Structures are given as C-alpha cells and as structure tokens.
Amino acid sequence: MHSLITYRKIIHIDMDAFYASVEQLDNPELRGKPVAVGGGGERGVVAAASYEARKFRVRSAMSGVLARKNCPHLIFVKPRFTRYKEISQKIRAIFYDYTNLVEPLSLDEAYLDVTENKKGNPSASLIAKEIRQRISNELHLNASAGISVNKFVAKVASDINKPNGQKTIPPEEVLPFLEELPIEKFFGIGKVTAAKMYSLGIFKGKDLKEKSLEFLTQHFKKSGNHYYNIVRGIHNSEVKPNRLRKSVAAEHTFVKNLTSEIFMLQKLEKISEELEQRLIKSKVSGKTITLKIKYSDFKTQTRSKTVPYFVKDKAILFETVKELLFQEKTQNSVRLLGISVTNLNIHSKKNRKIINVQLKFEF
C-alpha cells in the first residue's frame, strides 16, 4: 500500500516595481514615464525603477550616474518610505483575509501558506488570482505571484510571468521545471556563484542534479548541501508568520569620500547615535557589533566583535567600532560607513507545526 504524499500550498506574492508604482499612482504626471526612486546625483543610487525605466537597462542598486547615462530622460523621485509602509500594511491586511500564515520578506513581498485557508478554497492558484485582483481593485497596484509546494519554487515561479502575472508549478511539474531552469534563475544564486557553476559545467538544474553531494560541498562548502536539496525539490522551510529580526543597522553614504580616520570617527559617532535610537525603538539589544566600510572602488569590508553582554548604548557601540576601525589600516577613500548589531536578545518561540493536507483538488 502506497503512503499518501502530502504537499503544502505556498504562494509568493511580489509587488511589481513597488516604490516606483506608488510614485506613479500618487502623481499621474509620472505614469507611463521612466521613473527611478532614489538619488540621481553623483553619489545617488537607484532604489527602484519603473518598468518604463527598465527598458533602458535601469535597475535597482545601480548608481544614479549610470542610470542617467542609460536613460537621459529618467525622472528621479525621492523615496517616501512612510507612504510605502502605509500601502504595504493595506496589502498585508488583504493577505490576512485568506490566512494567518503570512511571512513578509520586505514591504513589497511575502509568502502565504494557504494549505488550509479562511476561505476554504482548495485551489492556491485561484486564491493567488483573487488576491492579485483585490490589490488591483482596492489599491490600484499590480502584483505577481508564484504558486507551488514550497517557498523556494514559489519564489522562483513568481518571477516568470512578471509583471502582473502568476505561475503555478504543481507537484508533478516541480522536478521537470527545476531540471530545465537556468542556474542563474535559481533564487539565491548570484552572478559570482553562477559564474563558478558555469566553470564547473553547471548551466541548468539538470547539470546541478548530476553532481554528487560530495562534489557540491567540496566546491560550495555549506551551500553545497542546500543546492543538492533544492534541485530535487526539497525545501522544508515553513512559512513563519513571526519572522524574528536578525539585525538592526544604520549606515551613511557620503557626498564626498572620506580619507581621514578623524572624519570617519565623527561620522561613526553620529551613526552610533542613530543606531541606538533604532535599537530602543525595536526594543532589542545585541552582542555582535559589525563595522561596514565601502571604499570608493565599491569594495566592501566588514569587521566584527562579539562582546559578553547585550549592547544598545551609543557610547559602547562607538567605542567598539572605533576599536574595529583601527584594527587595520583603511585601504583608500571611503564612500560609506555602517554599523550593525546582531546576535540579538530575541528568544524564538517554537514554531507552530503546520499540518500538511493531502491535495485532493486542483493545485
């Protein structure tokens, strides 16, 4: 007798060009035009780009200078995070009409577990369609969705029919889908890892699947085990409605590069004050303090220290980063400094076990 196979029904909702779309929603003059949220000056960085801007190869995290070079008629808009958060909360309110198992990843994306849902709807695909329709009708914004048996595949699927579309990968199609998926499309595999995989003859999921666990751990350390599992459709991470905060940070990008450690210390003192306020507001403290330094050539360096007690006081933060700054000489001019606190004093409750239900209906 065959045992019943149980599957979760996971939806990944991803808003389309969220920040830029909100700006176009609030200002009709921006609609249909290439818009970048962020700074267009010499030191500016693109936080988000409208689809009209993306046609000109404008992307998030791109420098404002390069974005303008690619699209001379690009319109830069300053970010309004209070407004984005307000709309994000309205989007989440829609999610909670369907399930309490909602795991926000950021203001513009979240996982939903609808295996059992408040509407009693057996089809995750129809639920995703209904949620997207409600976001469109009630908030006048577009969302895309991926639907599958686990978070990893749902996340990959949500990118396939963007913008304003959705893709379902039902249980029987998961393995064939992953085998044909180009390796750079696997969520979590960036340009550097993809290039390394190409050099090892791994171009698609099926190439990755042919490699042994021993081979993958030899070349990719701990990540090798993860790659071995995901290409086989194994990803058992549950949708966690109360994701624990792992870090609190503050950082500043400077109008002019800093070349003197005296100026760096002045900036770090201000960042320490800002970080203290964020820690107080978040009601947390932490043991590991990390100094982040980004140089003028965009290379990033981090230096960390773990102390035996929980910290949130600006004076202790500043003294620790001062020590980290002088740990070794800074290489050249610095464009960004940041401080983060991890190893926080948050104790996780045991995750509520989610009951898997046999799929008796259309996925």
User: Tell me: the pLDDT tens digits for 144-184?
Assistant: 999 999 999 999 999 999 999 999 999 999 999 999 999 99
CATH architecture label of 248-344: 2-Layer Sandwich (3.30)
pTM of the model: 0.72
pLDDT at 153: 95
List alpha helices for 172-256, DSSP H.
174-180, 191-199, 205-210, 213-220, 222-230
pLDDT at 121: 94
Average pLDDT over residues 238-242: 86
Cβ pair 333, 295 in contact under 8 A:
yes
Active-site annotation, residues: 109
Whole-angstrom distance, CA of residue 260 vs CA of residue 275: 22
Angle at CA 93, nearest 5°, toward 89 and 96? 135
Q: Give the pairing type, strands 35-38 and 286-295.
A: unpaired
CA 190 to chain centre: 13
Q: What's the CATH code, domain 10-15+86-173?
A: 3.30.70.270
Cβ pair 346, 245 in contact under 8 A:
yes
In the chain, domain spans: 10-15+86-173, 18-81, 179-230, 248-344
Given a cut of 60, whether residue 29 has pLDDT beyond it is yes
Mean pLDDT for the chain overall: 89
Given a cut of 60, whether residue 350 has pLDDT beyond it is no
pLDDT at 176: 96
Which is more confidently placed, 55 or 256?
A: 55
Given a cut of 90, whether residue 33 has pLDDT beyond it is yes
pLDDT at 116: 93
Q: What's the CATH code, domain 179-230?
A: 1.10.150.20
CATH architecture label of 18-81: 3-Layer(aba) Sandwich (3.40)
Instruction: Give percent above pLDDT 70 in the chain.
Output: 93
pLDDT band for position 363 (cuts 50, 70, 90): low
User: Tell me: the pLDDT tens digits for 59-114?
Assistant: 988 889 999 999 999 999 999 999 999 999 999 999 999 999 999 988 999 999 99
Whole-angstrom distance, CA of residue 182 vs CA of residue 184: 6
Q: Three-state DSSP class for 94?
A: helix
Give every strand in the sheet of 109-113, ordered side by side. Answer: 102-106, 109-113, 10-15, 143-148, 166-168
pLDDT at 42: 74
CB atoms within 10 A of CB 262: 7
User: Tell me: the pLDDT tens digits for 291-331?
Assistant: 999 988 888 899 999 988 999 999 999 999 999 998 888 77
Least confident range of 29-38, 59-68, 192-201, 351-360: 351-360
Given a cut of 50, whether residue 2 has pLDDT beyond it is no
Cβ pair 168, 125 in contact under 8 A:
yes
pLDDT band for position 43 (cuts 50, 70, 90): confident
Nearest-CA neighbor of 32 among 14, 42, 44, 20?
20
Which is more confidently placed, 125 or 45?
A: 125
CB atoms within 10 A of CB 80: 14
